[in-house]
Amino acid sequence: MAKLNILDRLRDCIAALDSDCVNKAIKEALDSGIKPAEIITDGISKGQEIVGEKFQKSEYFLSELILAGEMVKESLQILKPHIGQEKVKTRGKVVIGTVEGDIHDIGKNIVIMLLQSRGFEVIDLGVDVPKDDFIQAVKEHQPQILGMSALMALTAPVMAEIITGLKAISLRDKVKVIIGGAPITTEFGASIGSDYQTTDAYDGLEKCLEWVGS
């Protein structure tokens, strides 16, 4: 019961965007012998889910979403030294980046935070990423999911070139492709052969969870 109380409190601290409360709850959880994996899955992730619900209901906005993501990122850093030999179950692997010619990363970084908070291993290629680097990363890391972001309509067509490049080396069928950013539409996604397209970070997270069966 004590364990549940601590994890519930951590969940509520995340949902309330109270960083001091989050840090204290994590310390108490560790001091009580709760495993980092449980802290992440039963405390942090559940709090992040509530933040997502509030965002979708327009109770929270982009600033709160970014703040929640930063808190989760900080929480995972606090837990990292305590994980040691214990492996937090990884839901799946995602390679993600902003395509060549585009240096915008706020949306991408929010998606990364959400994915990490839900147990995904994320390989962040950064911004202004050449198409060959995307293809090489898929070849090297063998992720279940490839995420591509673009904020400018001018750079979005690069996504099509990356998908074509994956087809050329017989990797397209081995990875799900999700694309996002302001200029991305359902029609555009269909025209280039992506598996999913969205302008909503939480919608993208839910699709990734669906793909890995979570």
Task: Please write the tens of the pLDDT for every residue from 90-99.
Answer: 889 999 999 9
**Arithmetic mean of pLDDT, 114-118:** 80
Which residues, 6 or more positions from 178, have their beta carbon under 8 angstroms from its beta carbon?
A: 145, 146, 147, 148, 194, 195, 196, 197, 198, 204, 207, 208
* CATH number belonging to domain 92-211: 3.40.50.280
Whether pLDDT at 125 is above 90: yes
To the question of domain 2-83 being in CATH 3.40.190.10, the answer is no
**Domain spans, the chain:** 2-83, 92-211
DSSP label of 89: P
Which burial class, exposed, middle or buried, applies to 28 when counting CB atoms under 10 A from its CB (0-12, 13-18, 19+)? Answer: middle
Whether pLDDT at 58 is above 80: yes
CA angle 176–147–168, rounded 5-degree value: 60
Q: pTM here?
A: 0.72
Identify which of 61-65, 86-90, 136-140 has the greatest average pLDDT. 136-140
Distance CA(177)–CA(194), nearest Å, equals: 5
CA neighbor of 36 nearest in space, from 69, 71, 85: 85
The mean predicted confidence, pLDDT, of the chain is 90
Distance CA(33)–CA(159), nearest Å, equals: 46
176 — pLDDT class (breaks 50, 70, 90): very high
Distance CA(180)–CA(148), nearest Å, equals: 6
Decide: 202 and 52 in contact? Cβ < 8 Å.
yes
